[in-house]
């Protein structure tokens, strides 16, 4: 089922989870234990990431097709422009078509290690919009998501220009937007308002990742391209006695975020799970979805 159809099929918010392909073979069973633990939460779909420069490409494809086959869940596979040629992408999408996988998230991607500049890694797709156009033209049946940045994309300091680029991706064929993680819902609500002003009418799905360790909050900020950590949250984390307390703080904070988003009737919420189940399970126990 296409994500755009899932989002339009109900008035209630839908929930989705993101996983990444493990680096070590022995971690695959643990990941599928996590997936099995989260399936009772009835996610509407799950997404699978790529490494920088498509470095986990084969593992991503293996994981996408395995989840599709073994769980029956709707799966969204990340696709990146970096280090990708037209025929490579076409081959990937043909494989997905054969396996009944009909959703992708089109991204530019990060510069892989060992390459000095992003330009050196570019093949046929300089920007995400080029990938969106290619998919929509060659594989019109595919559902396409793109990324959004509530706090602003670090490479586009002009926020108005950033929205122009985003609108162009929607006009090229993207069906919905999923945001980078954020810790302050005001950033998300302002972003949605600015998108509407720019003529963007597709669903904008907020991305949530709970803090679980003191070191992790810094790493999460790096992964999110410089996500802003509110002073109150940072103070609580740094004052915590240990990571057990940090995890409780992070779950409480994320619960409050998710509940407020639900109360504002968002179309969906996307959880960055880091391949772990506990925090997501606790958030689901805490929230009211009625």
pLDDT (0 to 100) of residue 226:
59
Least confident of 58-72, 117-131, 162-176, 226-240: 117-131
The chain-wide mean pLDDT, for the chain, equals 89
Query: How do residues 244-271 score in pLDDT, each as one tens digit?
Result: 999 999 999 999 999 999 999 999 999 9
**pTM of the model as a whole:** 0.93
Three-state DSSP class for residue 272? strand
List 18, 70, 119, 155, catalytic entry: 18
User: Domains of the chain by range and CATH?
Assistant: 3-211+267-282 (3.20.20.220)
**Residue ranges of E strands in the chain:** 14-19, 45-48, 75-80, 103-107, 143-148, 176-181, 204-208, 268-272
Is 18 tagged catalytic? yes
What pLDDT shows up at residue 83? 77
pLDDT (0 to 100) of residue 215? 87
């Amino acid at each position: 089922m296409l994500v755009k159809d899932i989002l339009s099929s109900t008035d209630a918010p839908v929930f989705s989870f993101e996983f990444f392909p493990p680096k070590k073979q022995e971690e695959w069973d643990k990941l599928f234990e996590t997936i099995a633990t989260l399936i009772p939460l009835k996610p509407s779909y799950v997404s699978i990431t790529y490494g920088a420069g498509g470095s986990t490409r084969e593992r991503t494809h293996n994981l996408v097709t395995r989840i599709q086959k073994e769980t029956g869940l709707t799966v969204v596979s990340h696709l990146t422009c970096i280090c990708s040629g037209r025929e490579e992408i076409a081959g990937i999408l043909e494989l997905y078509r054969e396996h009944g996988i009909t959703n992708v998230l089109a991204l530019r991607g990060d510069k892989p290690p060992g390459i000095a500049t992003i330009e050196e890694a570019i093949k046929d797709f300089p920007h995400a919009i080029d990938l969106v156009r290619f998919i929509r033209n060659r594989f019109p049946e595919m559902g396409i998501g793109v990324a959004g940045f509530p706090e602003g994309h670090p490479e586009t300091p002009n926020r108005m220009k950033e929205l122009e680029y985003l609108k162009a991706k929607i006009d090229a064929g993207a069906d919905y937007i999923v945001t980078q993680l954020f810790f302050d819902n005001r950033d998300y609500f302002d972003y949605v308002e600015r998108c509407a002003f720019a003529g963007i009418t597709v669903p904008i799905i907020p991305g949530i990742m709970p803090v679980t360790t003191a070191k992790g909050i810094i790493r999460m900020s790096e992964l999110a391209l410089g996500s802003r950590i509110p002073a109150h949250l940072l103070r609580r984390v740094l004052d915590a006695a240990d990571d057990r307390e940090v995890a409780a703080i992070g779950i409480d904070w994320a619960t409050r975020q998710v509940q407020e988003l639900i109360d504002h009737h968002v179309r969906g919420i996307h959880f960055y799970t880091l391949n772990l189940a506990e925090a997501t399970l606790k958030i689901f126990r805490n929230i009211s979805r009625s």
